[in-house]
Amino acid sequence: MTAPRIAMRTLTVALAVMAATIVVADELTDAVAQTDALSLFTRISLQQDQARAMVAPLQRIHSIVQQAADAQKQRLEALEPTLRQARALLAAGDELPAEVQAALGEYRQQREQAQLALYRGVDQEMRMIADLMYPEQNALLDWTPPAAVRTEDSLQEQLRLRQIAEARIEEAGRMLERVKYLDAFNFVTARTPIINDYLARYFDPNAPNYQTAYRVCIDYTDRVRLLSEDEWQANGWDIAAQLIDRLGLMPTLETSPAPGTITWPTLYRVFTNPQTLQVVQRLAQAQ
């Protein structure tokens, strides 16, 4: 057998091995995705009627993801000439002209907006799925998305909580400020009434946690008393924020997942995988 034929045969065998390896890798990826879905549904004891009702939102999720992928492919194809130009310029050690930088920046912005739109579209369907769950199932699932994905109502709630936090920081700062500028005699006699008046708005004076809160305020008023005027002006409201955080009065601006629950990113990953739709369709048809 001649050398060219040997080389061609070797190449053919190599390509066949590569193709088989890719098929095996794809099969393993699919198997892992199906296992993830089955693990989730087993943990929450998904019922057959729920599986049937889940098929439609999962189909819509699959459509949303596919449309987003197609749109991203089109954006990259449109950007390809600019990318080739950028690579050639960078390889030559030249700077990118303003129009190339602008095109790349516009692409990044479009990609980020498209990704956010994808998250929001999928999240709407995930909420449909959440409504299909029983309370004991939802107790195992945290459907809270990242802040950027939240609906307008949720953003308004975040704004409301932020306003509460700012008001409480202001209130604590004014209390610390009053104590800081007391003269020596009044510092001894008036500090306690000022602190008690402040704490009474949030704590029951007869509750066990009142004394703990009082000691925290004593520590903070001692601290600000020792600050110079410049230090107080520069750091006073940061210290006030630390105080209300220590007192447990800082509103929770970012919701933390409940311990032990399956979080939104995991649910998103499972529900956007095409294998999950196949698993649910089999569960819906099971006898």
User: Is 39 part of a structural domain of the chain?
Assistant: no
Residue type, 1: M
Whether residue 134 sits in one domain with residue 267? yes
Whether residue 210 sits in one domain with residue 126? no
User: Is 127 part of a structural domain of the chain?
Assistant: yes
Whether residue 272 sits in one domain with residue 138? yes
User: Is 205 part of a structural domain of the chain?
Assistant: yes
User: Is 20 part of a structural domain of the chain?
Assistant: no
Whether residue 140 sits in one domain with residue 160? no
**Element spanning 150, H or E:** none
Whether residue 193 sits in one domain with residue 123? no
Whether residue 136 sits in one domain with residue 92? yes
Whether residue 136 sits in one domain with residue 58? yes
Cα 222 from chain centroid? 39
User: Is 102 part of a structural domain of the chain?
Assistant: yes
Count: domains in the chain: 2
Whether residue 174 sits in one domain with residue 130? no
**DSSP designation for 207:** S
User: Is 26 part of a structural domain of the chain?
Assistant: no
Q: What is the pTM of this model?
A: 0.58
| Helix residue ranges per DSSP H, 44-183 | 48-91, 98-132, 135-138, 152-180
pLDDT of residue 118: 92
- The residue segments making up the domain with residue 185 are 155-246
Whether residue 63 sits in one domain with residue 120? yes
pLDDT of residue 173: 92
Of 241, 234, 206, 201, the closest CA to residue 220 belongs to 241
Alpha-carbon span 2 to 40, nearest angstrom: 57
pLDDT of residue 152: 59
**Consecutive 10-residue runs of the chain (287 residues): their mean pLDDT?**
47 47 60 87 91 95 95 91 85 83 88 90 93 90 82 66 88 93 90 94 87 94 92 90 91 67 92 92 84
Cα 36 from chain centroid? 21
Whether residue 199 sits in one domain with residue 67? no
Whether residue 170 sits in one domain with residue 134? no
Residue type, 44: I
User: Is 6 part of a structural domain of the chain?
Assistant: no
Whether residue 140 sits in one domain with residue 56? yes
Tell the residue number behind the tokens 């006699």, with chain if given. 189
User: Is 4 part of a structural domain of the chain?
Assistant: no
